[in-house]
Amino acid sequence: MKKIAVLVSGRGSNLRALYGAIEQGKLDAEICLVVSNKSKAPALEFCRNKNIPCQICKLKDFESREAFFDHLAGIVSLSGANLVVLAGFMMLVTPNFIRHFPNKVINIHPSLLPSFPGLDAQKQAFDYGVKISGCTVFMVDEGCDTGPIIIQRAVEVLETDTEETLADRILTVEHDTLWRACKIMLDGKVSVSGRRTLIKEEQ
Ligand code: GAR
């Protein structure tokens, strides 16, 4: 069975959705490890309830970001993960981490990249006044939200929206997008050609 390691920092709703997709048989995989860089992340509570192996790894316990990510790469490698998913992991990963898992680290972001990278993407989009936003799953490279795009899904911004209602609707779409991205990645359907990903169609 293919294994997924998930890195989180907070609430963990994408982690829960991924777990749910596996439980429902939509995705043939197991979550072999969850690592949080925040000891109070609610995502950890979920892991404990579901007996998912989880660890806390805090930047302040290391001499540098490189040392932190070397350690993280070590524990993720030991878990035997075939895919590393950043699901609300609010740290910029270092090149040494990515080098350990070439084209195997993906991230989900709550905007249509390259618009609104970084923090508070939903607020950035709302404040800008765009009519369409959405979410993006991409392969992590050395930049901030710059890697080759795997899947994007659009969400309309309604005149009645607040920042919160927009974020909620995007989140619902995120939950249905992340497992699909994991599936095509684990099925070996995604290849990278420069900035583009090529996705093999289902037979
Ligand atoms: C999600 O909206 C995710 O797209 C976003 O953080 C939230 C985490 O929620 N990630 C980023 O903004 C990364 N740049 P969750 O902890 O409930 O999954």
Q: How many whole angstroms from 174 Cα to the centroid of ligand 1?
A: 9
Please indicate whether residue 88, judged by its CB atom, sits closer than 6 Å to ligand 1.
Answer: yes
Catalytic residues: 109
Tally the domains of the chain: 2
Q: Is the pLDDT of residue 142 over 90?
A: yes
Instruction: Take atom 11 of ligand 1 and give the residue whose Cα is closest.
Output: 109
Residue 97 sits in the same domain as residue 1: yes
Q: Which residue from 14, 34, 145, 182 has its CB within 8 A of the most atoms of ligand 1, so it is best to mutate?
A: 14
> Which stretches of the chain are assigned E, i.e. beta strand?
2-8, 29-36, 54-56, 83-86, 105-109, 132-139, 149-156, 190-193, 196-199
Residue 92 sits in the same domain as residue 161: no
Residue 115 sits in the same domain as residue 96: no
Q: Is the pLDDT of residue 203 over 70?
A: no
Residue 120 sits in the same domain as residue 195: yes
Please indicate whether residue 141, judged by its CB atom, sits closer than 6 Å to ligand 1.
Answer: no
Residue 122 sits in the same domain as residue 84: no
Domain-terminating residue out of 39, 71, 102? 102
Average pLDDT of span 56-74: 98
Instruction: Take atom 13 of ligand 1 and give the residue whose Cα is closest.
Output: 109
CB 36 within 8 A of CB 44: yes
Residue numbers of the domain that contains 172:
107-203
Residue 89 sits in the same domain as residue 132: no
Give one word for 145, left, alpha or beta, with left for phi > 0 and alpha for psi -120 to 50. Answer: left
Residue 95 sits in the same domain as residue 5: yes
Q: How many whole angstroms from 94 Cα to the centroid of ligand 1?
A: 19
Residue 35 sits in the same domain as residue 124: no
Specify the pTM: 0.97
Distances (CA, A) of 73 to 77, 84, 95, 102, 128: 6, 10, 11, 12, 37
Residue 129 sits in the same domain as residue 171: yes
Domain-terminating residue out of 102, 135, 151? 102
Residue 196 sits in the same domain as residue 138: yes
Q: Is the pLDDT of residue 201 over 90?
A: no
Please indicate whether residue 108, judged by its CB atom, sits closer than 6 Å to ligand 1.
Answer: yes
pLDDT digits (tens, 9 = 90+) for 87-139: 999 999 999 999 999 999 999 999 999 999 999 999 999 999 999 999 999 99
Q: Measured from the CA of 10, which atom of ligand 1 is nearest?
A: 16
Percent of the chain at pLDDT above 90?
Answer: 99
Residue 193 sits in the same domain as residue 112: yes
Residue 96 sits in the same domain as residue 137: no
Domain with residue 147: its CATH number is 3.40.50.170
Domain-terminating residue out of 102, 135, 154? 102
